[in-house]
Amino acid sequence: MSVPEKFGQALLALAIFGVVLLVVLHIAGRTSTRAPRLSIALFLGPALALLGIGLAYPAIRTIVASFFDASGRNFVGPANYLTLVEDPTMQRVVLNTLLWIVVCPVVSTAIGLLYAVMADRVRWEVLAKTLIFLPMAISFVGAAIIWKFVYEYRADQPGIQQIGILNQLLVWLGGQPQQFLTVEPRNTFALMVVMIWIEAGFAMTVLSAAIKGVPRELLESALIDGAGPVQQFLQITVPMIRSALVLVLTAITIAVLKVFDVVLTMTGGQFATSVIANEYYAQTFRFFNSGLGAALATVLFAFIVPIVIYNVLQFRKARIS
């Protein structure tokens, strides 16, 4: 498609959008009881249509494709899902994903909460929070490259100097350099550190704002009643920021389920470090097994949907209360 044709399509799309907007504004300005409903339908209609085309339809196609073979032509029933259950490699992929789901959100939220509490008490609060939040500005690929250098390993031989920070520290302390990314299961936890390093800043930002919203009167009343700092934090602050904690945990969990860049950049999914998102890419685009790839994508979708629904319900409950 030539540049003029693309430019013409863009102008046509803008013209259609302008016409729809004028119609909606005209209808919204009318006073009849049907006008608000019609204007809402006109506003939501294009968005719902795009969601159907870009989300619902591909999801249905993926679920259907998961019941076909690698070529996508022959129906095999639940064979691809049985492979996920019976094949040791796929079992490890699913287990690694569950391990990421359990460890990363909890640890990231805990560290972020600790950061939020400590940063509020230092003199240079803005600078401290900026430095902690800074990893969020780095792409997952960039963060993975940084930590790959941190974990870099060279054989411990005379005349060979370690360039990885961790292994150089081990040498200075009298220890032996370690292969952090090739020895299981610690290599999976080494990859999790990257995600925790990034997401802890996000958790700190949200939780710090929530903590600042806790009424000072409650804390002062608890202090008068003899409650210490730890009791104030556990019995007043934490219950008051419960909705923010749920938001952070679910948001990080969804990000963890989609983790792909870190694994692909640091290990390529080798050494038993692959997760569902990375394995989906490998099966679909490297091994051309569209059926198994679709089954992996469907399982990933099944993991994400309950979390999203729970998050929406929590938001509704918070709005009602």
* 150 and 12 share one domain: no
* 48 and 93 share one domain: no
Q: According to the model, what pLDDT value does residue 277 have? A: 92
> Could you give the CA distance from residue 6 to residue 14 in angstroms, rounded to a whole number?
12
Which residues on neighbouring strands pair with residue 54, listed in sequence order? none
165 vs 41, 127, 173, CA distance in Å? Answer: 58, 25, 12
Residue with the larger pLDDT of the pair 46 and 27: 46
For residue 184, is pLDDT > 90? no
For residue 3, is pLDDT > 60? no
For residue 33, is pLDDT > 80? no
pLDDT tens column, 101-143 = 999 999 999 999 998 888 877 778 788 888 888 888 888 999 9
* 86 and 23 share one domain: no
Q: According to the model, what pLDDT value does residue 265 have? A: 92
For residue 4, is pLDDT > 70? no
* 52 and 106 share one domain: no
Residue with the larger pLDDT of the pair 162 and 99: 99
pLDDT tens column, 43-101 = 777 777 778 888 888 889 999 999 999 888 899 999 999 999 999 999 999 999 999 99
| 3-state secondary structure (DSSP) of residue 114 | helix
How many folded domains does the chain comprise? 2
* 60 and 118 share one domain: no
For residue 26, is pLDDT > 70? no
pLDDT tens column, 253-297 = 989 988 889 999 999 989 999 999 999 999 999 999 999 999 999
Q: According to the model, what pLDDT value does residue 112 have? A: 92
Q: According to the model, what pLDDT value does residue 6 have? A: 60
Domain-ending residue, one of 43, 65, 87: 65
* Nearest by Cα to 43 from 58, 27, 55, 54: 27
Q: According to the model, what pLDDT value does residue 53 have? A: 81
* 33 and 125 share one domain: no
pLDDT tens column, 146-161 = 999 999 988 766 667 7
Q: According to the model, what pLDDT value does residue 1 have? A: 54
For residue 2, is pLDDT > 80? no
User: Is residue 210 assigned to a domain?
Assistant: yes
* 220 and 140 share one domain: yes
pLDDT tens column, 186-229 = 999 999 999 999 999 999 999 988 888 888 888 778 778 777 77
Q: According to the model, what pLDDT value does residue 132 have? A: 85
Q: Which long-range contacts (CB under 8 A, 24 or more apart) does 171-179 make?
A: 177/153, 178/153, 179/153
Q: According to the model, what pLDDT value does residue 92 have? A: 94
Q: According to the model, what pLDDT value does residue 30 have? A: 57
Q: Residue 318: which pLDDT band, with cuts at 50, 70 and 90?
A: low
* 45 and 89 share one domain: no
- DSSP alpha helix (H) spans, 120-182: 125-133, 140-150, 165-172
Residue span of the structural domain in which 15 resides: 1-65
* 54 and 157 share one domain: no
> Could you give the CA distance from residue 167 to residue 163 in angstroms, rounded to a whole number?
8
User: Is residue 72 assigned to a domain?
Assistant: no
Q: According to the model, what pLDDT value does residue 80 have? A: 93
Instruction: Tell me how many helices (H) and strands (E) the chain has.
Output: 16, 0
Please compute, for residue 214, the number of CA atoms within 13 A of its CA located in the half-sphere on the CB side: 23
Q: Residue 175: which pLDDT band, with cuts at 50, 70 and 90?
A: confident
Q: According to the model, what pLDDT value does residue 71 have? A: 85
For residue 7, is pLDDT > 70? no
User: Is residue 73 assigned to a domain?
Assistant: no
